[in-house]
Amino acid sequence: MRHGGRVLVEKFSVLATDVEVIVADSGRPRDWLPHRVEHVGTAVAERDAYVAEARARLRADGLHDGTRYDDDVDAGFAVWTDPDAVVVVRGTQSMDPPQVLGRGALKPHLAVCSVQSAEMIDFELLPPAELPAALASMVPEYPPIDAQPHSVQIAGPDRDDDDAETSVKQSAGSRPGTEGLAPYSAWPVTVNGGFELYFKDRGRLTHAGTVQFFLGDGGGYIARERTTAAGTWLDFRPCVARQYLAQWLRDEIADYGRYGA
């Protein structure tokens, strides 16, 4: 990929604790949700020693020349820590690694996709239009579950907060409107998670929507909240979750009006 007439360093991996050093060196916002990034070194000498070790690792990987960070790495972190739009991905699964964390960051000229597994964070610099597919590729590809789309009202004039929480936790058929959920609970879920989307509005990131995904031997489906004048509904849809999530992100980003994804 080219940016500004030259080839980008497209992919690189960094220890999570070294990420904190890079951000601190640049003076950029300490915004890396949902990644687990810890500060190392409470005493001055301990901190200085760790920073020196981190820079040595980064220099060995070609990300730091001993004086400054690679231009592409610096540009990537500028977008990653202060995006105009961000996607937060959290996933759990019954195999190793048990938890996977991801972040997608966008500005009109560049996107950054990051994935954390254990102590390493893998970064990829992308054209903005390619970010939805890159993030969705974190989700294993399962066929749709054998079920019909179904919606459950979880909030509205005739429902209080306790009712909303109970309606999605109780077994299918135990409350009006939940009978159609039986096929969704027929198989154990082995992989699940959520994609949270935020857009910058007046200098602050504002939540624009969340889609949850559920995968198992019986197939896959998504759940998504939908608010109307009549109340708030939780929509369950059998689908290939990876494809659904990629298209959902494309549509939402296109509606935001800057990236043409």
Same domain for 76 and 194?
A: no
Asked if residue 145 is part of any domain, the answer here is no
pLDDT of 246: 98
Answer yes or no: do 127 and 166 share one domain. no
Q: Are residues 129 and 6 in the same domain?
A: yes
Whether residues 230 and 157 share a domain: the answer is yes
- Look at residue 77 and tell me if it is in a domain: yes
Instruction: State which of 106, 136, 166 marks the end of a domain.
Output: 136
Tell me whether residue 12 is in a domain.
yes
What pLDDT was estimated at residue 45? 92
Indicate if 51 and 95 belong to the same structural domain: yes
Q: Are residues 53 and 155 in the same domain?
A: no
User: Do 18 and 118 reside in the same domain of the chain?
Assistant: yes
pLDDT value of residue 171:
37
**Dist. CA 111–CA 79, nearest whole Å:** 7
Same domain? For 132 and 9 the reply is: yes
Is residue 97 assigned to a domain? yes
Residue 190: both structure tokens together? 């082995």
Tokens, residue 70 = 């690679």
pLDDT in tens, the chain (261 residues): 444 444 455 899 999 999 999 999 999 999 999 999 988 888 999 999 999 999 999 999 999 988 899 999 999 999 999 999 999 999 999 988 899 999 999 999 999 999 998 889 999 999 999 999 999 999 999 999 999 999 998 887 654 544 444 444 443 444 446 778 999 999 999 999 999 999 998 888 999 999 999 999 999 999 999 888 888 899 999 999 999 999 999 999 988 765 444
Same domain membership, residue 123 and residue 71:
yes
Q: Partners of 91 in the beta sheet?
A: 100, 193
Residues 6+ apart with CB under 8 A from 126: 1, 10, 110, 111, 112, 113, 134
Q: Are residues 244 and 186 in the same domain?
A: yes
Q: With 0-12 CB in 10 A as exposed, 13-18 as middle and 19+ as buried, what is 230? A: exposed
Burial class (CB in 10 A: 0-12, 13-18, 19+), 257: exposed
Q: For residues 10 and 99, state if they share a domain.
A: yes
At 217 the pLDDT is: 94
Q: Is residue 144 part of a domain?
A: no
Task: Report the Cα–Cα distance between both ends of the chain, in Å, rounded.
Answer: 17
Are residues 132 and 7 part of one domain?
A: yes
Query: Is residue 141 domain-resident?
Result: no
Q: Examine residue 261 and state whether it is found in any structural domain, yes or no.
A: no
pTM of the model: 0.85
- Structurally, the chain folds into a number of domains equal to 2
Domain annotation covers residue 211: yes
How far apart are the C-alpha atoms of 28 and 16, rounded to whole Å?
A: 16
Instruction: List the domain range (segments joined by +) for residue 216.
Output: 150-256
The DSSP string of the chain is -EETTEE---EEEEEHHHHHHHHHHHT-----TTS------SSHHHHHHHHHHHHHHHHHTTSB-SSSB-HHHHHHHHHHHS-SEEEEEEEEESSSSSEEEEEEEEETTEEEEEEEETTEEEEEEE-GGGHHHHHHTTS---PBPS---EEEEEEBTTB-HHHHHHHHHSPTTSSTT-GGGGGGGSS-EEEEEEEEEEEEETTEEEEEEEEEEEEETTEEEEEEEEEETTEEEEEEEES-HHHHHHHHHHHHHHHHTSS--
